[in-house]
Amino acid sequence: MTARATDARRAAVLGSPIAHSLSPVLHRTAYRELGLTGWSYDRFEVDEEALPGFVGKLGPEWAGLSLTMPLKRAVIPLLDEVSETAASVEAVNTVVFTDDGRRLGDNTDIPGMVAALRERGVEQVDSAAVLGAGATASSALAALARICTGEIVAYVRSEARAAEMRQWGERLALDVRTAHWADAERALHAPLVIATTPAGATDALSHAVPERPATLFDVLYDPWPTALAARWSAYGGAVVSGLDLLVHQAVLQVEQMTGHGPAPLDAMRKAGEHALAER
């Protein structure tokens, strides 16, 4: 049953640290644009140890939760059902509470990545490169499973990380090859490069951007642009930012949690840009 716009409903983003999260800005903008006057969206500092207690105390007014690190895997045992998308990477970033009290887990990062790329005209690629290994990198592989028809090369710093990426590739039925981070400059010649590394990690690669780069998806958004994204844009390449990803996955969250849509993509992006500019 879809809630009425005036119903008092709650949602929030949980994580640790959480003060930096743009999710409240994006979701509140969506509520305002959709006329959901009874809806509120907050942020709570919650770690893995505190998560079961927090979720267990939520009342019937709660519609959903957004989850960021380190909770995306920790929440899974607390759920009644997990979508195939979330199960494919063992990561839930969205929980929806049904009218009968069930807790449904999903991952909107993966379709959010696909939607952000599609918005830039990237529907399909015959190969791709992933910079980094970790939770975001596994989501990147899951997104590539939907749009990449050939080999994916993951550039990582350790053999342990390389083994993890190959395992994710097998699980997702992808052709994943790994290479050492020392050779990461080669990644920049791929039709699609997805950078999943922390701030500063790809700065040293910016001098190696080719004269005619294709598409870079850099999952960071603050600070922005990264040195790599700035050089990429200067050379005329297409750049998809972490804010694009954040907005597209939030659009899907809003629609799932509220039952209303379509969520206002452009208004949410502008609100996010304004919030970042004020920092």
pLDDT tens, residue by residue, 17-41: 999 999 999 999 999 999 999 999 9
- Which candidate, 196, 203, 247, places its Cα nearest to that of 229? 203
Q: Residues 76-85: what's their mean pLDDT?
A: 98
Give the C-alpha separation, 136 to 35, whole Å.
33
Q: Which pTM was predicted?
A: 0.94
Sign of the CA dihedral 172, 163, 215, 135?
A: positive
- pLDDT tens track for 261-272: 999 999 999 999
Catalytic: which of 9, 10, 43, 72?
A: 72
- Percent of the chain scoring above 70 in pLDDT: 98
- Percent of the chain scoring above 90 in pLDDT: 96
pLDDT of residue 134: 84
DSSP string, 61-109: TEEEEEE-TT-TTTTGGG-SEE-HHHHHHT---EEEE-TTS-EEEE--H
The mean pLDDT value of the chain amounts to 96
CA dist 237 → 152, 154, 214, 216, 232 (Å)? 20, 21, 5, 7, 5
pLDDT of residue 128: 98
> For residues 173 and 279, which has the higher predicted lDDT (pLDDT)?
173
Half-sphere exposure of 80 (CA within 13 A, CB side): 10
- pLDDT tens track for 107-156: 999 999 999 999 999 999 999 999 999 889 999 999 999 999 999 999 99
Confirm whether 270 is a catalytic residue: no
Distance from the Cα of residue 161 to its chain's centroid: 20
* Beta bridge partners of residue 97, listed in sequence order: 103
- pLDDT tens track for 149-205: 999 999 999 999 999 999 999 999 999 999 999 999 999 999 999 999 999 999 999
Residues contacting 27, CB < 8 A, separation 6+: 11, 13, 41, 66, 250, 253, 254
